[in-house]
Amino acid sequence: MAISGNLTAIAYLVASVLFILALRGLSSPETARAGNLYGIAGMAIAILTTVIDPEVASYGWILAAFAIGGLIGMTVALKIQMAAMPQLVAAFHSLVGMAAVLVAGAALDNPQAYGITDAAGAILLSSRIEMGLGAAIGAITFSGSIVAFTKLQGLVSGNPIVFSGQHWLNLLLGIVTIVLLAYFTLEQSPELFWAMTALSFLIGILIIIPIGGADMPVVISMLNSYSGWAAAGIGFTLQNSALIVTGALVGSSGAILSYIMCRAMNRSFFSVILGGFGGDPTAANTAAGDKSTKSGSAEDAAFVMKNAGSVIIVPGYGMAVAQAQHALREMADKLKEAGVRVRYAIHPVAGRMPGHMNVLLAEANVPYDEVAELEEINSDFASTDVAFVIGANDVTNPAARDDPGSPIYGMPILDVDKARTVLFVKRSLSPGYAGIDNDLFYRDNTMMLFADAKQLTEGVVKAL
């Protein structure tokens, strides 16, 4: 079945509107399910419209790609754990980046098939600019996403990797890449194109390796934006309006989210865009030394919370790793039955990606009206009986507020230390992803609960 140009334009317009509605829906937990459905519908329309285009000569490769990609996607979706979602997102970003590079390379090799040549057979200047930008941004996205994946997966250390003159090297490579891109747009040389692409792959590695684990949520958001701009650039090459609009939506929304998260972490937005924006890796880590802690058991925690008037739960990556969200919901229900007011406090960069904790709590059917962001709830800790911190570390570290010498100084934190009692669930006194000791462990109003987050929470439920 063929489809006319006008119907194609209308179908792509409908798909674009659905993508916009998807982003709008995904901005809130209450409408996230509808947002997902809008996105699925928009993608289905865009794919179907593209596939039934009269210029498609053969469906063999297309159907093979559908089968292979669909099988891989379904397998990953069924097996992936929520704790591993950040590295999965990073891996997906890498695929978008590589797709942009491959499409640009294919268009350079056979521009007539893409309809981007002039009467003399040369690639149009506008198309050369679009191809070059798409390939460069795509290459940076691919290699940067791979580095982020290896850090999040634990294949390499999450600590910043730095060396002398690193920023100057990045600047030099960036200038050379821009020069090569400019020459490519003038001369249409395959050698210039692939040299520019190779340098872009190197830049992607170099701008991510100096970023520490505590900044990974911003990395994921930044790479998301990069992947969108790469897709938009290739959309021009393919003359596909749906891809242009979708890429622009992803790129702009990712940039806005990066800006919001930079504010949440007191980072410079431009340093994020340029990479290498983690805390000072040379800053000394404060060791525990002779400091002592007060430790307790699940029974102690149950007694303290059952006799409290209000409890604020602060989830973090440790909860995700232990998959303790369902036990946490059960604990909260027991406390509410005992007349305790229970709420959840979410830091913008808790976990390893934006919204990580919100998704986990939604999976456990935690009521949306009990979940509050940092700005909404931070002032309430001072009047709260108990702050129950389960797996969060850096986002509750008072050093970010009180110690000008700390690498995370200036990052807004959840003021859990101001609660009357702090119950801190953690396996050990090891520092968080930022590699910084947390003074909160040793304060008089803190009781450390050394255990696996899920087992400890289940113990509290049993005691309640």
Q: What is the pLDDT of residue 59?
A: 87
pLDDT tens digits, 48-88: 988 887 778 788 888 999 999 999 989 988 888 777 778 88
* Residue 119: band (very low, low, confident or very high) from pLDDT cuts 50, 70, 90: confident
**H or E element at residue 372:** strand 371-373
Q: What is the pLDDT of residue 234?
A: 86
Is residue 223 within 8 A of residue 144, CB to CB? The reply is yes
Higher local confidence (pLDDT), 15 or 269 = 15
Q: What is the pLDDT of residue 207?
A: 87
Q: What is the pLDDT of residue 403?
A: 85
Residue 2 scores a pLDDT above 70: no
Is residue 185 within 8 A of residue 108, CB to CB? The reply is no
Residue 432 scores a pLDDT above 60: yes
Residue 301 scores a pLDDT above 80: yes
Q: What is the pLDDT of residue 445?
A: 92
314 φ/ψ sector (left φ>0, alpha ψ -120 to 50, else beta): beta
Q: Of the given ranges (69-83, 329-343, 443-457), which has the lowest mean pLDDT?
A: 69-83
Q: What is the pLDDT of residue 178?
A: 94
Residue range 403-428: mean pLDDT, rounded:
88
Q: Of the given ranges (34-43, 239-248, 350-359, 409-418), which has the lowest mean pLDDT?
A: 350-359
Higher local confidence (pLDDT), 283 or 123 = 123
133 CB-near residues (< 8 Å, 6+ apart): 181, 229, 233
User: Annotated active-site positions, please?
Assistant: 394
Tokens 């701009």 locate to: 229
Helix (H, G, I), strand (E, B) or coil at 386: strand
Q: By C-alpha distance, which of 130, 140, 138, 133 is closest to 240? A: 130
Higher local confidence (pLDDT), 437 or 251 = 251
Q: By C-alpha distance, which of 257, 267, 202, 261 is closest to 224? A: 257
pLDDT tens digits, 221-237: 888 899 999 989 888 88
Higher local confidence (pLDDT), 251 or 216 = 251
Residue range 250-277: mean pLDDT, rounded:
73
Q: What is the pLDDT of residue 419?
A: 95
Q: What is the pLDDT of residue 5?
A: 67
Expressed in angstroms, the distance from the first to the final Cα of the chain is: 64
Q: Print burial letters for 215-253: b (CB count within 10 Å at least 16), e (below 16).
A: bbbbbbbbbbbbbbbbbbbbbbbbebbbbbbbbbbbbeb
pTM of the model: 0.79
Residue range 113-126: mean pLDDT, rounded:
85
* Beta-carbon-side half-sphere exposure of residue 444 (alpha carbons within 13 Å): 1
Exposed / middle / buried, residue 258 (Cβ in 10 Å: 0-12, 13-18, 19+) = buried
- Determine the Cα–Cα distance for residues 400 and 83; give it in Å rounded to an integer: 25
Pairing of strands 421-426, 310-315: unpaired
Higher local confidence (pLDDT), 284 or 20 = 20
Q: What is the pLDDT of residue 3?
A: 60
- According to DSSP, the residues that pair with 344 across neighbouring strands are 313, 371
Residue 289 scores a pLDDT above 60: no
Q: What is the pLDDT of residue 272?
A: 61
Residue 1 scores a pLDDT above 60: no
Residue range 391-413: mean pLDDT, rounded:
85
φ, ψ of residue 209 in degrees (nearest 5): -60, -30
Higher local confidence (pLDDT), 5 or 165 = 165
Running DSSP on this structure, what letter comes out for residue 353? S
Q: What is the pLDDT of residue 283?
A: 46
410 CB-near residues (< 8 Å, 6+ apart): 266, 400
Mean pLDDT of the chain: 86
Quote the radius of gyration of the chain (alpha carbons, Å).
25
Q: What is the pLDDT of residue 274?
A: 61
Pairing of strands 446-450, 341-346: unpaired
- Determine the Cα–Cα distance for residues 304 and 307; give it in Å rounded to an integer: 6
pLDDT tens digits, 165-198: 888 898 899 999 999 999 999 888 899 999 999 9
Q: What is the pLDDT of residue 290?
A: 61
Is residue 129 within 8 A of residue 185, CB to CB? The reply is yes
pLDDT tens digits, 92-108: 889 999 999 999 999 99
Q: What is the pLDDT of residue 214?
A: 61
Alpha helices in 188-297 (DSSP H): 190-208, 216-238, 241-265, 269-274
Residue 380 scores a pLDDT above 90: yes
* 20's tokens: 């916009």
